[in-house]
Structures are given as structure tokens and as C-alpha cells.
């Protein structure tokens, strides 16, 4: 059982998997649009089952203000799947190195075999929007994004255009 990007509601879709032209859209996307997509992605994790590589990743999620039901992928994958299979849907947030890619494949197969819907789009979105390589750097990258947005807002005000965009990442 696998899911294609079109299986997700429109607000949960990204340009991931839609070819090079769509991937380029992330680069050209306005900062305000990136902010909305980032907020939706992070809000979508709240209270949801999330599997990460280790305890430091769980700590990083909490430091970033993400209140997900995070589980570290430590031990036998089958046990982890059994432990959280009743959730119905799980988000896999593994790093973007060889081990993270391997774990994403393994856990995706196991969860899907158990009838659990697997979301890897949030992982890909966070990489594209923030440029993260590991989830341990999530909080730092969110602060950098926040600073960039604040800088743009400051420049906009100086030019006489008042957008008054209040960002949510400052609390993280």
C-alpha cells in the first residue's frame, strides 16, 4: 500500500515528486508563501505520531516547538512499528544521509504492511524549505528562517510598505 502525492488533500501536497519544474517552484516561492507552507507542515505534526532517528531528534523537535508524539527509532524496527501501529498515520522524519534514507525505506515498508498511512512529504518539505540535512538542526534552521523573514519585513517597512506579517516561529 503506497500513497502518491495526489492521494493527499491539497493543503498537504507539495511540489515533491512533480518533476524538476515543480521543485524549482520552491526556490522561486515568495517568503510569505514559504512561511505559510512551513506553518502548515509544522502544525500538521502537532499531536501526531512521528518517528525520528534518536533522542536528540526528539529534543530538537521539542526545542523547535513541535508538539508531536515522537518516537526514536532505536531497537528493532518491528517493535517500533508494533508500538505505534494503532495511530493510523505516521510521519517519518529521518535525516537525509545514507542511514536516514535506509530507515525511511525500511519503516515505510513496515508501516504500510501494517496498514498505517505513511507521510514522508513533511520530511521533504522541511528539507526544501529550511535546507536541513539532519533533524537535530531543525530549531536552528527555524530561527534562521525567522530572522530572514524579520529582515524582509524590516526592509519592506523601510520602503514604506507595511505588511505587518507576524511570524509564529519566534516562540520556538
**Grid cell in block for residue 108:** 515505510
pTM, entire model: 0.74
Q: What is the pLDDT of residues 122-149, one digit of tens each?
A: 999 999 999 999 999 999 999 999 998 8
CA angle at residue 64 from 13 to 85, to 5 degrees? 60
Q: Which domains does the chain have, with CATH numbers?
A: 5-171 (3.40.1360.10)
Q: How much is the mean pLDDT over the chain?
A: 82
Q: Report CA 101 to chain centroid distance, whole Å.
A: 15
Q: What is the pLDDT of residues 43-95, one digit of tens each?
A: 999 999 999 999 999 999 999 999 999 999 999 999 999 999 899 999 999 99
Amino acid at each position: 500500500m503506497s500513497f502518491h502525492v495526489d492521494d493527499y488533500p491539497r493543503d498537504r501536497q507539495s511540489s515533491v515528486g512533480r518533476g524538476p519544474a515543480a521543485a524549482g517552484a520552491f526556490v522561486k516561492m515568495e517568503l510569505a508563501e514559504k512561511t505559510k507552507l512551513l506553518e502548515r507542515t509544522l502544525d500538521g505534526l502537532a499531536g501526531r505520531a512521528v518517528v525520528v532517528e534518536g533522542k536528540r531528534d526528539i529534543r530538537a523537535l521539542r526545542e523547535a516547538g513541535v508538539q508531536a508524539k515522537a518516537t526514536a527509532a532505536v531497537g528493532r524496527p518491528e517493535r517500533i512499528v508494533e508500538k505505534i501501529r494503532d495511530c493510523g498515520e505516521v510521519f517519518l522524519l529521518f535525516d537525509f544521509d545514507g542511514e536516514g534514507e535506509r530507515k525511511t525505506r525500511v519503516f515505510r515498508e513496515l508501516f504500510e504492511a501494517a496498514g498505517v498511512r505513511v507521510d514522508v512529504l513533511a520530511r521533504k518539505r522541511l528539507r526544501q524549505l529550511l535546507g536541513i540535512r539532519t533533524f537535530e538542526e531543525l530549531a536552528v534552521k527555524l530561527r534562521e528562517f525567522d530572522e530572514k523573514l524579520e529582515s524582509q519585513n524590516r526592509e519592506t517597512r523601510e520602503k514604506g510598505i507595511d505588511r505587518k506579517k507576524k511570524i509564529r516561529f519566534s516562540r520556538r
